[in-house]
Amino acid sequence: MAINVNTVYTTVLSILNKEQRGYLTPFEFNQLATQVQLEIFEKFFEDYNQYIRMPKTNVEFASRMDHIMEEFQVFEKSDIASNTPTTNVYHQPTDLHRFGSASWNKGKNSPPIEIVSNRDYNELKLSPLTQPTNDFPVAKYKDNKLIVFPSPTTFANTDVTFNYIRKPADVVWAYGVDPTTGAFIWSGTSGAPTPSIPASGSVDFEISDSQQSEVIIEILKYAGVIIRDPQIVQSASQLSAVNEANTKR
Q: Estimate to the nearest angstrom the gap between the alpha carbon of 37 and the chain centroid.
A: 8
Quote the CA–CA distance of 198 and 201 in Å, as a whole number: 6
CA distance to 10, 40, 132, 185, 196, per residue, from 27 (Å): 14, 20, 52, 13, 10
Quote the CA–CA distance of 18 and 10 in Å, as a whole number: 12
Mind giving me the DSSP string for 98-165? EEEEEEETTSTT-PBPEE--HHHHHHHTTSTTTS-BTTB-EEEEETTEEEEESPPSS--GGGEEEEEE
Amino acid sitting at position 28: E
Positions of E strands within 12-125: 76-80, 89-91, 96-104, 114-115
Quote the CA–CA distance of 64 and 72 in Å, as a whole number: 13
Angle between helices 212-226 and 5-18 (to 10 degrees): 50
Instruction: From first to last of the 249 residues of the chain, give the pLDDT tens digit.
Output: 789 999 999 999 888 876 555 678 899 999 999 999 999 999 988 888 877 776 666 666 556 777 778 888 899 999 999 999 999 999 999 999 999 999 999 999 999 999 999 999 999 999 889 999 999 999 999 999 999 999 999 999 999 999 999 999 999 998 877 777 767 777 665 445 555 544 358 899 999 998 999 999 999 888 876 655 566 556 656 656 656 555 555
**pTM of this prediction?**
0.76
- What lies within 8 Å, CB to CB, of 82 at 6+ separation is 91, 92, 93, 94, 157
